[in-house]
Structure 1
Amino acid sequence: MDDDTAKDGLKWIMRAGYGARGAIYTLVGGLALLAAFKSTNAQGTKDALATLRNEPYGVPALWAIGIGLFAYLVWRVVAGVKDVEDHGTDAKGLFARGAQVITGLIHGGIGISVIGLAMGGQGGGSGDSAQDWTQKLMSMPMGRYVVAAVALVLLGAGIYYAQKGWRGTYKSHLARSQVTEKVDPLITIGLVVYGAILAMVAMSLGYAALTADPAQAGGLGQALHQLRSMAFGRILLGGAGLGLVLFAVYNFVEAGYRIIPRISGPDIKSLID
């Protein structure tokens, strides 16, 4: 990618994508925080976006988020195919690049549902979408094994995000500035909490595969409900909500300060330098 215009365009596409992710987790985390202190239910991504649709300017906000998620799709696919982040062509690098493409496609799928919601579609209720697609997968040949594989991939993603925060490996991807230095500790917390919640979702899918019972599967909303039902549930749910908001902060910081090796140039100092 030698053309400066194309490079600048990719930067802005990346920023729109991370900004959309930040908006979603701000919404989900904020509602979880509210549920921790009031008699309301914590909501997963789908229900949280449905709630947004009923607010003033909710529909334009959904359009912006949906378009942003499509931008994230473009960014991740281009990053994976063109290797603009220098992962390389060894086994580890190819795995990382493949993961970029897959996560981009997943977010593109979410973007389609968000646009559908903005156009007047129904937002779904009680956070049971994970159960719906789990049931569909289990009805297929070898469906239980497919669900188990999804659970393992999601567990791996949870571990990845948690260790990324705990070990601070994300620092090499963020440019050093007053902003990134100040929010660095918050990013650590956000990544660890997000990773732990992903692991909870993975375990519910794994249990559904083990028992051949799609009703055991749950998404983000179900994980938050489980936290609320535990001892000290309000505290746990509040901590999860705060962690998701901090994960949103991480995405917003990525939008503004992410280092792209083949685009940003070699002279930019990262948080790890």
Structure 2
Amino acid sequence: MTTRHGATLLARLGFAARGIVYCLVGWFAIDAALRGGKVGDNQGAIASLADEPFGEWILAAMAAGLAGYALWRLAEAITDPQAQGTTAKGAFKRAGHAISGIAHVILAWTAAKLAVHAREAGGRVGGEESTRDWTAWLLGQPLGRVLVALVAAGLIGAALQQAKKAWDGSFAREMSGGTPVPQHVCTIGRIGYGARGLVFALIALFFVSAAWAADADEAGGMAHALATLQSQTGGRWLLTATGLGFVAFGIYSFVEARWRRISVDLPA
């Protein structure tokens, strides 16, 4: 097996792992909406696998897949296989790939730690505390509020990108082969990207508030965004709809695991 082929397989495993994570987060959100209780986030979804039969092995496979996905995204950001980096749009996309890669490195590390200590883990732990910790660290640096504002700007850009994909279905062009993507698959993808865009926008607002107030407690991640939806008027239905959107995104991630066009610029 060549290095390129192995990297491609890891990236595909990463799409499948991402699909599992989003299906679990979506299910937790739906369960919280219909039966009450707390919502979870992607780290909490991964942690919930620790109590399952063969949890250590499942988590180890998740860690490998998420690491492969992270490496692929970081490679796209660094090597620019589609030669888009000379334009502002291309540079923005590469920055998005880098952010996605870093986020999935964290998820892979979480899964790896839980795989080693699965018997002591369990429950729906999440990343809200760590989000506030590193936000506090950023605020403690020179121009800390500016740094947090830049994080907010990046999240706004990510939210707009998700919303654009939901609106125009441009994600379908990322599939391999010349066969058009079936309409029902496009619909699933649109719903999923729309749900992600909404949650990313809320997270961006949290970071805007944190930068404005210079207060790390104002920051928040996915679980905080879902809890905010739950607390609104009609929040039960908002959270249910968002949870269904996350499940749709998870299903579309499984489709991508099989048919996504993946460029890996590595030596054979």
- TM-score normalised by length of structure 2: 0.87
**Cα distance 1:137–1:257, how it changes in 2: closer, same or farther (>3 A)?**
same
Select 1:30's aligned residue among 20, 27, 30: 27
Any conservation in 1 of the 2:175–2:261 contact (CA below 8 Å)?
Answer: yes
What is the CA deviation profile of residues 214-269 of structure 1, one whole-angstrom value per residue up to 9, with x for unaligned ones?
A: 11111100111111111111101101111111111222121111124789xxxxxx
Tell me how far 1:180 sits from its aligned partner. Answer: 4.4
What is the CA deviation profile of residues 59-104 of structure 1, one whole-angstrom value per residue up to 9, with x for unaligned ones?
A: 3222211111110122123333443345364443344234323422
What is the CA deviation profile of residues 132-188 of structure 1, one whole-angstrom value per residue up to 9, with x for unaligned ones?
A: 221222122221211111011011101101111111111211246587443211111
Which of 140-149 and 43-52 deviates more? 43-52
Unaligned runs of 5+ in 2: none
State the alpha-carbon separation in 2 of the partners of residues 51 and 18 from structure 1: 19
Instruction: Name the amino acid aligned to 1:17.
Output: G
Instruction: Name the amino acid aligned to 1:145.
Output: V
**Cα distance 1:100–1:126, how it changes in 2: closer, same or farther (>3 A)?**
closer
Q: Does 1:213 align with 2:210?
A: no
Task: Show the 5 A alignment for 1:154-169.
Answer: 154-169=155-170
Select 1:197's aligned residue among 191, 195, 199: 199
Q: Which has the higher contact order (CA 8 A, sep 6+)?
A: 2
Any conservation in 1 of the 2:41–2:222 contact (CA below 8 Å)?
Answer: yes
Q: Which residue of the partner structure matches residue 270 of structure 1?
A: none
State the alpha-carbon separation in 2 of the partners of residues 141 and 184 from structure 1: 45
Q: Which residue of the partner structure matches residue 112 of structure 2?
A: 115
Task: Show the 5 A alignment for 1:1-273.
Answer: 5-87=2-84, 89-120=86-117, 124=125, 127-175=128-176, 180-260=182-262
Tell me how far 1:113 sits from its aligned partner. Answer: 2.1
State the alpha-carbon separation in 1 of the partners of residues 99 and 220 from structure 2: 21
Any conservation in 2 of the 1:128–1:219 contact (CA below 8 Å)?
Answer: no
- Aligned length, in residue pairs: 260
Instruction: Name the amino acid aligned to 1:152.
Output: A
Which of 203-212 and 166-175 deviates more? 166-175
Tell me how far 1:125 sits from its aligned partner. Answer: 5.7
State the alpha-carbon separation in 2 of the partners of residues 257 and 71 from structure 1: 16
- TM-score normalised by length of structure 1: 0.85
Any conservation in 2 of the 1:159–1:196 contact (CA below 8 Å)?
Answer: no
Unaligned runs of 5+ in 1: 264-273
Any conservation in 1 of the 2:43–2:127 contact (CA below 8 Å)?
Answer: no
Q: What SS does the aligned partner of 2:128 have?
A: coil
What is the CA deviation profile of residues 30-59 of structure 1, one whole-angstrom value per residue up to 9, with x for unaligned ones?
A: 111111111221111222322222233333
Instruction: Name the amino acid aligned to 2:35.
Output: K
**Cα distance 1:212–1:71, how it changes in 2: closer, same or farther (>3 A)?**
same
**Cα distance 1:208–1:88, how it changes in 2: closer, same or farther (>3 A)?**
closer
State the alpha-carbon separation in 2 of the partners of residues 150 and 144 from structure 1: 10
State the alpha-carbon separation in 2 of the partners of residues 26 and 260 from structure 1: 23
State the alpha-carbon separation in 2 of the partners of residues 39 and 124 from structure 1: 17
What is the CA deviation profile of residues 87-129 of structure 1, one whole-angstrom value per residue up to 9, with x for unaligned ones?
A: 3644433442343234223311221122112222767568333
